[in-house]
Amino acid sequence: MFPYFLPCKKSDITARVRVRSGETKLGELIKVPEGASLISFLQETSARFLVLGVAEDIGVLANGGKAGTAGAWDSFLSSFLNVQANDFTKADTIAVLGHFSFDDLMQKIEKKAVSTEDRIEEYRKAVPIIDGAVSDLIQGIIASGKTPIVVGGGHNNSYPIIKGTALALAGSGDLKGINCINLDAHIDYRLAEGRHSGNGFRYAKEEGYLMKYFALGIHENYIPKDILKDVNENTDVDFITFEDIFLRQKRTWQQALKDAGEFIGGERYGIELDLDSIAHVPASAATPCGITSREALQYVAQMARHFEAAYIHICEGIASNDNALVGKLISYLVTTFVKAYHNKI
């Protein structure tokens, strides 16, 4: 039904949970779709939040970025499932659906392509396949009245997540795009030159799935001149730079969050968070100069307090077996989203 998607099994969960006497972890209580079709699970589960992963590097590599984002899901899951289940974390509202794996696509590209240019071209041809798979599942989740929490992969996945959300909310009526806010070091509004991690919002905007778009904390060093001109001429797209907040101090961080929220307004919106916005976090485009993890948590809390938030997408983190901190950081961001939604933060 959903190609490239691997539904989570209870055995996948229990293998990761570190059971301790006198404690209960999220992984001991959390729901999984085992024994049910994904469609029936989406319709019947009482869980409000459906957590899923996108384990892929293809979109990042199609943009000339650094591989490793495929590992973020696995790192996150090992940390997340060992969070304490209590009145704050509300395990009964969360289910882990599973994850997308595009290893087959990657292997075909590696076998076929030779030069760097050929590889990039093949990666860009493969991204629309990822788009279709991710969009269909997101549409099903939103249509079932649930809230997807999407972890891992490149920022190319903003496009299918926005598309799936917009199509589900439109139902049988006319398409009306959703609004979106993005905490990022880059505006990711590059030209529609073939799909990759740097132009998901551009494609979503041009195809009518995205209405208002606000980029928060982008770095002035990495805004192409032509893209800046495009953005400045589009009243539905706005941004606040990292420099205006933290160097020129034109606005406080709290004021920047407030202004961003007011721009996207009361319509349904998506919350995007690129981990390259946080200083010293391993990411496809890691930076020594960025916001703190605390400020990222404040962003998520502020944006998730309102029921208009349709989804959250946390991407671009690079994780490996010897670096569990990325997974733990994503776990904090996800639990903050759930707590804020329930007005626990």
- Is the CB of residue 224 less than 8 Å from the CB of residue 187? no
Q: Could you tell me whether strands 269-274 and 309-315 are parallel, antiparallel, or unpaired per DSSP bridges?
A: parallel
Q: What is the pLDDT of residue 345?
A: 66
Residue of 198, 237, 245 lying closest to 214 (CA atoms): 237
pLDDT above 80 (res 255): yes
- Is the CB of residue 54 less than 8 Å from the CB of residue 152? yes
Sign of CA dihedral 10, 11, 15, 16: negative
The pTM for the full model equals 0.96
Q: What is the pLDDT of residue 343?
A: 81
Phi-psi region of 252 (alpha: psi -120 to 50; beta: other; left: phi over 0): beta
Q: What is the pLDDT of residue 324?
A: 83
Query: 41: buried, middle or exposed (CB in 10 Å: 19+, 13-18, 0-12)?
Result: buried
Q: Kind and range of the H or E element at 181?
A: strand 178-183
CA distances from 129 to 17, 212, 288 (A): 33, 26, 34
Q: What is the pLDDT of residue 317?
A: 96
* Bridge partners of residue 294, in order along the sequence: none
pLDDT above 90 (res 293): yes
pLDDT above 70 (res 323): no
pLDDT above 70 (res 60): yes
* Interhelix angle 325-341/72-80, nearest 10 degrees: 60
pLDDT above 70 (res 38): yes
pLDDT band of 5, cuts 50, 70, 90: very high
User: 36 vs 308, which has greater pLDDT?
Assistant: 308
The per-residue pLDDT for range 177-233, each reduced to its tens digit, is 999 999 999 999 999 999 999 999 999 999 999 999 999 999 999 999 999 999 999
DSSP letter for each residue of 249-283 = -SS-HHHHHHHHHHHHTTS-EEEEEEGGGBTT--B
Q: What is the pLDDT of residue 34?
A: 84
* CATH number for region 5-341: 3.40.800.10
Residue of 151, 98, 198 lying closest to 300 (CA atoms): 151
When pLDDT is averaged across residues 147-162 and rounded to a whole number, the result is: 98
CB-based contacts of 19: which residues, under 8 Å, 6+ apart?
A: 25, 28
Q: What is the pLDDT of residue 174?
A: 75
State the Cα–Cα distance between residues 204 and 182, nearest whole angstrom. Answer: 14
All structural domains of the chain with their residue ranges: 5-341
- Is the CB of residue 311 less than 8 Å from the CB of residue 147? yes
pLDDT above 70 (res 322): no
